[in-house]
Every structure is written in structure tokens, then in C-alpha cells.
Chain A
Amino acid sequence: MPTPTSPPRLQLTAISKQYPGCLANDRIDLSIAPGEIRALLGENGAGKSTLMKIIYGVTQPSSGELRWHGEVMKMRDPAMARGLGIGMVFQHFSLFETLTVAENIALAMGTAAGTPKQLEPQIREVSQRYGMALEPSRLVHSLSIGERQRVEIVRCLMQDIKLLILDEPTSVLTPQEADELFVTLRRLAAEGCSILFISHKLGEVRALCQSATVLRGGRVSGHCVPAECSDLELARLMVGDAEGLESSYPKVSGGLPRLRVDDLSWHNPDPFGCSLSQIRLEVRSGEIVGIAGVAGNGQDELLALLSGETRLARGEQARVSLDGAPIAHLYPDARRTLGLAFVPAERLGHGAVPDLSLSDNALLTAFQQGLVSRGLVQRGKVRELADEIIRRFAVKTPNANAAARSLSGGNLQKFILGREILQNPKLLVAAHPTWGVDVGAAAAIHRALIALRDAGAAILVISEDLDELFQISDRIGALCSGKLSPLAATAHTEAVEVGRWMAGEFAPVAPSHSPAAAPAAAPL
């Protein structure tokens, strides 16, 4: 279909977007031909999201030109973008959980497309043609994450699609599911649809995309053909010459068991939530255990049971133990006195109170470290602690009075991690420690975790980022539908295998009580 003389499907010239106090996009050029799969690569905060929103009409550029099939356009709103044949799959899905699949699709398509009922046959037809089974009358909240992504994609395919934009689509998929998605995308491209694939994972970009545009700090730092570039070259384009790109840490095997989770089953009263069944886990002093898994497979529930936000009845108190002492019935503060520290997944609104100062946020978890006397807060000591965290962990902030919300993600994460580490924990549980953090801060956080490990603490890291887990953890496992796979030494495990565990392909846990002394061989 595409002829050499035809203009590109989409062409951006010198697009800039100025937000108060920040230039999110700085004279960006990008073009994409019919049938082309182009990657848009970049770190968090490189300006990818803003650019996408401009293309999709969610926001307007401050300056620059957008051409569609050679014609200058002003993309007023998403409806106009959709009318032209532009579809977008968001990273955080823009689906309504209380509505059915068909209602969701009908809402996006406008009045002319018909009522949800009228759309059902067409939805079935499209989803079958592209190999993405979907039942139109199901409520979205009953769908898995992967299925929800299908709804988003099918929603785009229902119209005459010319350009499909996907924002980090594989971050919520197992490696196998991602491969299936690539098959669908290649097929679409073969039919002439252009695809803009936004990612920061180099491997999949190389596997899927013919061309790539790399953004750094709001500017285009280069165009390339991914298949012809090494990982290091691509990474340099993304982050410049930042430190820590290639760090690898020595793997260790740990000492005595610290945390033991023994046949932990927990029924989730929330029908949308995930229940846990027979979790068995051991974290030894001086090692990092990593747990992979796609979001929503029981991570939040397990974390809450470990932190003490969810507690078990006294009769079940030994399901979780720290250094042999049962803790499953204890409140978080009691667990902290025993030596547990915790870095939750959400920094703002969970790990730190957005509207409180850093001082107050230091007090938040460290109040048992002599900061309160006779019921009164010892302001001076709190301030000293906060200043020490800021200094030792190189947190960039004017001072300890700054509100937590005013810090960047990476800086706040360093503060939270520092706050926990300075309490000398015996066990640190960290969820998604580097999520949404720039490379420099991520490297600093990794180094801090390794240092804590080498000082003898037991560390449990739960993350969706498989690369990160392979980098820092000594043993690794995966959660799927509330069940935990066996743990294996990271050094002797392949990503593909963990990928299979993430999809639930592991043998059910044997009902024995022998502690897993040696890394178990992977069941195949």
C-alpha cells in the first residue's frame, strides 16, 4: 500500500510543550509511515507521555506543527484524533470497571456507532479476527489485566484505524503474553496500520520495531534502527553517560532464616481483590529475595500481611514469623520494634504523607526511635533525623521543611528508603523500589539495598520489573493468582523460566514443611 512518494502518515515538526516551570517537549521531530512500527524510547520524564497526549489531542502543543497525511492539523481533542483514525492504548487503562466491555467501547465511539447492544456482534468479530478473545457483555472489573488491555486495543480496532499508539503495553504482561501481543501488532502493521510503540525495554523494541526515536530530557536524542544498535548504545541515547548502567552485583547465598512465611493462605473479602493461597517463603539474613509477577496477582495482599496493615487472628500468628517470633497478628508498630522496615509501593499517600514536611514524614515511621517523650514530639530530634537522612542518602531538597509532595519521585524514594535503613532493620520489605525513578536514583537505591544486604539484613523485594530483580536479587520467584512459585537462585535461572512462573506454570506447593534449604530446581 505505501508508495515511496506518499507523505508520512504522521509528521511532527519542532513540537514544543511548555508547562509552568518545565519544558516537557523541546522541538521534537518525529515521522511515521503507513505500516511502520516505530518505537518511542525514553526514560520516565523524558517527555514521551506529553508527546503522545499532543498527538492524541489530550493537550495542545505550545508551538510546532503536526501534519496528518501531509496536511497541517490542529488536534483539538481525542474525539477528533479518533475521527482521523488514531487510537491509543494507555498505560493505566482508561476503562470503567463498573461498565461492561461493550459499554466501554460504545462510550469511546460516540453516538453514531450505536448502542452497546448493537455493537456486540462487531466486537466479537474484531476480537476474533485479531486473536483476542473477548466477551462484550462482561463487566470490566471481572477481567484480568491482560484482558483489559485487549479491550483497549479492540476499542481502537473497531474503527478504521490508521495509527495505533501503545504506551508501555508490555509492562502489565508476562513475557509470553507480550509475544502474543507482538503477533497481533505485526499483523496490524502488515495491513497498513502505523504503530507507535512506547517503551523503555530495549529487548522488545529490538524484536518488534523497525525504527526508533529516542527522547531524553524532552528532546530527541537520536533516531536509529534498533536491530542495528547494541543495548549499550541505545541506553546511552536514553540516559546519556549516567553511572550505574551496567552495574552487576555479586550474588550471595545468605545466612540464617529471618523472615518465614509458612503456608499462608488468606481470603480476600474484596471481590475485586486477589486471595492468597499457601504462600511459603523464607528470607535469610544477608540475602535479597525477589518476587516477580504481573500487578494484581496478590502482591498488594502479601505486602499488607507482611507490613501488618492486614493482620491474622492470634491462632494463626505463626504464619508469619521474624527470627522465630510469630508476628502475623501484630500491628505495624509492634512489628517495627521487632526489626521490620517497609517501603511500600506508593510513595505518596502510603509511604509518605504528601502534605506533611520531610521532618514529619521521618517521624511517621521512626517514632519509636526515641523521638517521642511523655507523649510530646521531640521536634529537635526529629529534625536531626530528617537532616541525617537527607545528607546520607543525597536527597535533593531545599530543607527538611519541604512537603513530601514537592520532591521528585527519585528523591522521595531515596528519603523513604533512607528513613527505613537508618532504623537498622533486620528485615526490609520493599515494593517496586525504583518504579518511576530516573536511572541515577535507581542505581543509588540499588546500591543502598546491596549495602544493607551486605550488612546482614534480610531483604524482600517485590517488583514488576524483571530486569531489576535479576540485577539485585539472590533468589527469585514469582506470584501468580495469589500463589507463589518455588524460589530459585537467580544466578541459575533464566528470565523465560520466571516468565512461565508469572503465568502460573509451576507445580503446586508440596504439603511438606521442610525448609527450602537449597534453591529448588525449577519444575518443568
Chain B
Amino acid sequence: MDLDLLSNILYAMVRTGTPLLLVALGELICEKSGVLNLGQEGMMLFGAVIGFIVALATGNLWLGVLLAMAAGMLLSMLFAAVALGFNANQVATGLALTIFGVGLSTFVGAAWVGKPLSGFEPIAIPLLSEIPLIGRMLFAQDVLIYLSFALFALVAWVLLKSRIGLIIQAVGESPDAASAMGLPVLRVRTLAVLFGGAMAGLAGGYLSLAYTPMWAENMTAGRGWIALALVVFASWRVFRVLLGAYLFGLASILHLVAQGIGLSIPSNLLAMLPYVATIVVLVLLSRDAIKTRLYAPVSLGQPWQPGH
């Protein structure tokens, strides 16, 4: 394997890992606050279709990105209303959101399937992108990927350094204690869910505006679910989310590698790889039940209402 191929693989790894990273960062914040939102796939799809339609209709890619985020947020608001406001089971509500999002995006996007769009183009940063091996990976990407780097830094800072991070963690560990302390539990959780929605929408927008600028039914292909596994894989730690996202990115482009070393495997079998990888990773990471429990936010997925 030569250096060029390796550089290409790293470049593609980041491109493929980015949507996972974006969704997983949003879900991380959400889960840290104690809310399990399984609706990522639905929010991503809705973001993708809205972003695509807006960009194509207005010719403005950034407006597409913005409305993709708004679309994700809109769906997450539904989740927040039912799961937090009405105290419904979070697992079921998340599933409902995914089913709804899949249906809604297919419905809305039916007339837009297969239309061409010129999406975000890579912007090579002079000099830096010339660095061997990692130059292309880090400095010759499209602008949404640069944005994902910034968002990662922001989330890492919030969770590890800021008071907001402390509050999110406190609410996720013990809503009762947090509420007794005067922290607005439901407001914190709602905002975390909305942030998750915006990130999922952005990830969807990235897919339909930059990664493969087009709209197709179910184009997220389970990335929302993989991102959920990613958060478990990362043991709810932000740097591991980054690592995991790119590792999964790598697993999804293994066919490039296979081609590179001259293997021919049927494409349907190769397409299974990221899903198999997800299962393997889940198994490796969850084996130690006690350890998983140590890292998982204590109140994750449990309904909570201000007490009496």
C-alpha cells in the first residue's frame, strides 16, 4: 500500500466519519443530560431532505444547511414534547420519531429523488494541505467538515470545562437532586434534546449537500443508529466519540481498501461491514456490565417530572 492510497483512505475516513461525528456529538449531550433519543435516524433524514430541497430551490447551500438544522430541531421538539412534557417512554418515543421521520422525509422528498445538485466542494488550505499523509485528511476538506472540527471542540469544551457541562452532567445523574438544588431539569433536558436535533439535522444536511449531493429515500442507511452505538462505544466520553466516528468511517470505506489491495468481494457483503463492526464494538464495550454502568449517565432514559 503506498502513501498516496493511505492518504486517500484517511481523507475518505474523515468524510465518511463526519456525519457520524455530528450526530453522535448531539446525542452525547442529550444522553449526558439523561435523555435517550432513538430518533436520530428520523431527524437526520428529515434534515437531509429539507436541506436538499431548500438548497436546490433557492440555490443557496448555506440556507439549506441552516434549514436542515432547523428541520432536525423541529422533530426533536416533538420528541421533547412527548417524552419530556408528557413523560412518555423514551425508547418508544424515539422509535416513533424514527418511523415518523423516515415516512415524512420519503413523503416530502418523493418529487426530488435523483435531482442533481452541486454541493459543497472541498477547500484545500494552501501549504497545510500539502503535508504528507494527513494534509488532505485535515486541510483539504469541505467547509462543513471544518465546521464539524469546530463543533467537536465546542462540545468538548462545554462538557469538560464549562459550568454548563457540570449542569448537564448533574441533571443526567440525578434529576431529583438537581431539581432540589434549583436547577431547571426539564429546561436543561429540552435544550439538550434540541441541540441533538440540530446536530442530527446538520449531519443529514451534510449527507445531502456535501457527501453525496442528492436526495434518496433512506439515504442515511442506519447512520443514526450507528451513532447511537458510537456513544456507547465511547463510554460517553467526548474524545472517544471522535475516535469512534472516524473508526466507523474507516469500516464503511473498507471496500476502497479492498480494491486497493485487489480483492473482489460482492458489494452487498461489503455493505454489511459497518453494521457488523457496530455489533462487534458493542459486544466488546458492553461485556463488562459494571463498567458500562459506571460511565452511563445514571438516569439515562428514565422519565422524570418535577416532584410532589
Contact = CB atoms under 8 A, between A and B. Distances in A.
A107 B180 CA distance: 12
A364 interface: no
B262 interface: no
Contacts of A94: 174, 176-178, 180-181
Nearest to A108: B181
B294 interface: yes
Contacts of B180: 58, 78, 90, 94
A107 B290 contact: no
B189 to A, nearest CB: 16
Nearest to B184: A77
Interface string B160-181: 0001001101100110111111
B290 A96 contact: no
Contacts of B266: none
Nearest to A79: B182
Given A98-B173, A103-B166, A106-B166, A78 B181 contact: yes
Nearest to B288: A269
B177 A19 contact: no
B308 A107 contact: no
Contacts of B298: 97-98
A93 B308 contact: no
A228 B128 CA distance: 84
B177 A95 contact: yes
Interface string B296-308: 0010000000001
A504 B308 CA distance: 38
B170 A93 contact: no
A90 B179 CA distance: 13
Given A96-B174, A99-B166, A107 B294 contact: no
A270 interface: yes
A111 interface: yes
A77 B182 CA distance: 6
> How many of chain A's residues touch chain B, expressed as a range?
20 to 34
Interface string A235-275: 00000000000000000000000000000000001110000
B182 A97 contact: no
Contact of A97 (B167, B173, B181): B173
A269 B179 CA distance: 31
A58 B183 CA distance: 11
A280 B159 CA distance: 47
Given A78-B180, A90-B180, A99 B170 contact: yes
A115 B179 CA distance: 21
B166 A107 contact: yes
B177 A99 contact: no
Nearest to A95: B177
Contacts of A103: 166
A95 B178 CA distance: 8
A270 B290 contact: yes
Interface in A323-340: none
A90 B176 CA distance: 11
A19 B306 CA distance: 14
Interface in A452-481: none
A6 to B, nearest CB: 29
A96 B182 contact: no
Interface in B137-171: 163, 166-167, 169-170
B175 to A, nearest CB: 11
Contacts of A269: 290
A99 B182 CA distance: 17
A12 B178 CA distance: 26
A93 B166 contact: no
Contacts of A98: 169, 173, 298
Contact of B308 (A19, A78, A116): A19
Contact of A96 (B163, B170, B179, B294): B170
A57 to B, nearest CB: 8
Contacts of B182: 57, 77-79, 82
B173 A107 contact: no
A268 to B, nearest CB: 10
A96 B308 contact: no
A108 B163 CA distance: 11
Nearest to B297: A98
Interface string B6-27: 0000000000000000000000
Contacts of A58: 179-180
A108 to B, nearest CB: 5
A97 B294 CA distance: 10
Nearest to A93: B177
Contacts of A95: 177
A95 B182 CA distance: 13
A57 B181 CA distance: 10
Nearest to B182: A78
B166 to A, nearest CB: 5
Interface in B262-308: 290, 294, 298, 308
A97 B166 CA distance: 12
Nearest to A104: B170
A57 B179 CA distance: 11
A106 B163 contact: yes
Given A94-B181, A96-B169, A106-B163, 6 more contacts: A78-B180, A94-B174, A96-B177, A107-B166, A115-B163, A269-B290
27 contacts: A19-B308, A58-B179, A78-B180, A90-B180, A94-B174, A94-B176, A94-B178, A94-B180, A95-B177, A96-B169, A96-B170, A96-B173, A96-B174, A96-B177, A98-B298, A99-B166, A99-B170, A99-B173, A106-B166, A107-B163, A107-B167, A107-B170, A108-B181, A116-B166, A269-B290, A270-B290, A271-B290
Interface of A: 19, 57-58, 77-79, 82, 90, 93-99, 103, 106-108, 111, 115-116, 269-271
8 nearest A-B pairs in the assembled complex, by CB-CB distance: A78-B182, A94-B177, A79-B182, A94-B180, A96-B170, A96-B173, A77-B182, A107-B166
Interface of B: 163, 166-167, 169-170, 173-174, 176-183, 290, 294, 298, 308
